[in-house]
Structure formats: C-alpha cells, structure tokens
Amino acid sequence: MVFQMEYTIERIDTIDQITPLKSEWNNLLERSETNIIFLTFEWIFDWWKCFGKEKELFILLVKDNEKLVGIAPLMITTLNLGIKIKKIEFIGTPLSNYCDFIISEKCEDKRDVLRSIYDYLLKEKDSWDIISLKEIPEVSSTLTISEEILKSSNVLFSIFPDNISPIIIFEESERKEIEKKLNKKDIKRKLRGLNREGILGYNHCKDKNEAEMLLNIFFQQHIKRWKSTSTPSMFEDEKYKAFYHELTKSLLPKKWVDISVLRFNGGVIATQFGFTYNNKYEGYTHTYDKTYAKYSPGVILLMLNIENYLSKNFREFDLGRGDDPYKFRFSNIIKKNYKISIYKRYPISLIDKTINKLRLEIRKHSRLRYALREVKNRLTNFLKFHKC
C-alpha cells in the first residue's frame, strides 16, 4: 500500500518485502540518532521469524523521491480481553531494550518525516485501537517532536516513563571511580576463594560451533536457576531458544554478539549473552551454575567483562534494562526510556493511564525494598567485621 503526502509512505506487510532492504535499512540506521542493535535489520528479521506468527507486520517506509528517509518498524498485536483490541507497537516488543523510529540524524526534516508517519497512522484508525510505542530513549528527539505533533493533532495520547537501564560511561574522568568499584573487597574475596579451590578461566566465544555448545549450556543453567521460582526461565519455551540461535548465527560473523563465559576447572559456571555494536557493550541475558552461588560467579564474570571493554576503549557499558540491585554497584548514570501511547477511545486511554501510574508506584516501592536490603547487608557485614 502506498500513501502519498509530502513524502511517499509504503506499508510493508510481508517479511519477504524487507529482505532486499537489508543494506539500505542498516545504512539509514547508522545515520540515525538511535543507532542500536535492537533496530538492526538482523534483529528485526530474526525476531519476526521466531515471534511474528500471530502478529501482523506494519512496517512503514518513508521515501523522498524514492530515497529512503525513514522507517517505522511496527507490528499489530491482537489482544483478546473479552473483546479484541488491536495494538500497534514496535517490532521486538517486549524483548528490545530500546526502540525508536529510524530517521537520519542529519535529516533537517525529522519533524516532517515523523508527522508523515503519524498522519498515516491516524488515517488508518480502522487498523488499531491503541498505539503503544515503548522503550524510546529519553535522549531521542522523537519524544519532544512526537509530543508537539500529537498535541496539534487533537488526539488522545500520553507519554509516561517506561523502564530504566543502569549504564557505565567510560569517560576518562570516570576511570578512577570505575576501577574503584571493580576492586571492591567482597568481589575480590570471592574471586580469591574460587582461585584457591581450582583453576579459573575467562573467554569469549570465537566461532559458531563453540557458540552452539555454549548456548546449550546457557539454556540448561538458566532453566535450572529459575526452576524453583515463581518466574520460570523463558527458555522453557522453544521459541526463545530458536531466537538466540538465530541471533547468534546472524550477528556472530559481524562481531555484534558476545557470549562470554567464566570457567572453573574447565566447566562453565557463568555465561553472559550481550552485544557489541556501535562501540558500546549491551548486556542482555546472563546466568550461572547455582552450585557456585556463594561465590557470585555472575558478578565476577560481569566485573571481568567491564574490565575487558574498559581496556578496549568502548564508549559505554550498558548493564541492561531493569533495576536489579547488582547493576547499581557498577553504574555511573541511569538512562530512562519513555512510552508514547495513542488512543482511539477514551475508556482505553483511562485504563492504560491507570496501569502506567500503578506500574510507576510499584517500581518506586520495589527500589525502596532493594535499597533497604542493601543497607541491611552492609550493616551486617560491618558488624561482622568489627565483631560487634
């Protein structure tokens, strides 16, 4: 379908249609302000291959005289909540840590490109009940421009805080503080404990055969680790295993995926699955062998990875989406994401806004619990050390 405005918009609704766009897609992404692994052609294609079966592709290509100037990587998800609700969202939701529209950073008309996308979506109201654009980075101009456009469009919408990501910025002025955090006594003590018991090893996956072997160990340890909890491992579902295999096959030759392992006496006791893209490390999923839990092998592996990428002069080390307490012991800034929601009807807007407010309150209290737990642990360690 082609929609003519100031720009030409073409809707892509089958995955085969985007295959010839691979090079053009990634070239545009490299020129965009949100140049991230989660918007690469490879991520979008592999995610859709594994999870797109029950969804409808809704990619919009924005062209200026046949030149690609913008991509809206969208899909339609149908929710059955007694009544069917159609939701437009970014492809990759909820597995992408960051999402955005792909528009050249040097494009002087980003506002016009975005307006063209929103005009198209608003004219296609029969296709959706709600538009939910999650995980847009706070530094993206998409947020402020979208707010201006939507206010002038007389449409129901909201912009709410979404998830956060603790980050380590590898600036020279921060180096001493980073090294200080990496040399905390409790981590070094556990590292020495493992070294006394046997031989430690640390390495990164080099080829596809090793990757296949390490992924299978990774899945087994992740399933075992979460088996006895209220939230079983996602790898109980074969689709997630297939996704990680597909990603590894696509990204390993480009050196965009990093599978790092901590070994003890030859066996793998911790694994971290992450990405190395655009001179940044993106932490994604990790696990460890519960047998060695008292040594915190996952934290030791994380520390070794931070040291590794600090020495390689990467710009930053992203500890991954979420407010897990261990991330804050290393991070030096917190990045926030935001969610843009557009509603066709008032009742849906009221329900969605209420849910967003509840999520924010729950998150506030969960962070307070984490903080109190950390204070308790530090006080306990202090009293033990001073034998009070």
**pLDDT tens-digit readout, 199-256:** 999 999 999 999 999 999 999 999 999 998 889 999 999 999 999 999 999 999 999 9
- What would the mean pLDDT of 289-305 be, rounded to a whole number? 95
141 in helix, strand or coil? coil
Query: Is a pLDDT exceeding 80 seen at residue 379?
Result: no
To which H or E segment does residue 370 belong?
Answer: helix 346-386
- What would the mean pLDDT of 99-113 be, rounded to a whole number? 87
Please give the pLDDT value at position 290.
93
Q: Do domains 2-165+335-369 and 171-314 have the same CATH topology?
A: yes
Query: Is a pLDDT exceeding 60 seen at residue 198?
Result: yes
Backbone φ/ψ region at 283: left (φ over 0), alpha (ψ -120 to 50), beta? beta
Please give the pLDDT value at position 365.
60
Please give the pLDDT value at position 229.
86
Query: Is a pLDDT exceeding 70 seen at residue 181?
Result: yes
- What would the mean pLDDT of 338-359 be, rounded to a whole number? 76
CA atoms of 171 and 272, how far apart (whole Å): 24
Query: Is a pLDDT exceeding 90 seen at residue 53?
Result: yes
377 in helix, strand or coil? helix
* Structure-block tokens of residue 76: 């339609």
Query: Is a pLDDT exceeding 70 seen at residue 5?
Result: no
Helix ranges restricted to H, 128-182: 142-152, 175-182
Architecture, CATH, for domain 2-165+335-369:
3-Layer(aba) Sandwich (3.40)
Superfamily covering domain 171-314: Gcn5-related N-acetyltransferase (GNAT) (3.40.630.30)
Q: What is 19-62 written as a DSSP string?
A: GGGHHHHHHHHHTBS---GGGSHHHHHHHHHHH-TTSEE-EEEE
Higher pLDDT, 349 or 187: 187
CA atoms of 187 and 300, how far apart (whole Å): 7
Please give the pLDDT value at position 370.
54
Model confidence, pTM: 0.89
From the centroid of its chain, how far is CA 89?
Answer: 15
Please give the pLDDT value at position 1.
54
Please give the pLDDT value at position 109.
85
State the DSSP code for 260: E
Boundaries of every domain in the chain: 2-165+335-369, 171-314
Higher pLDDT, 54 or 372: 54
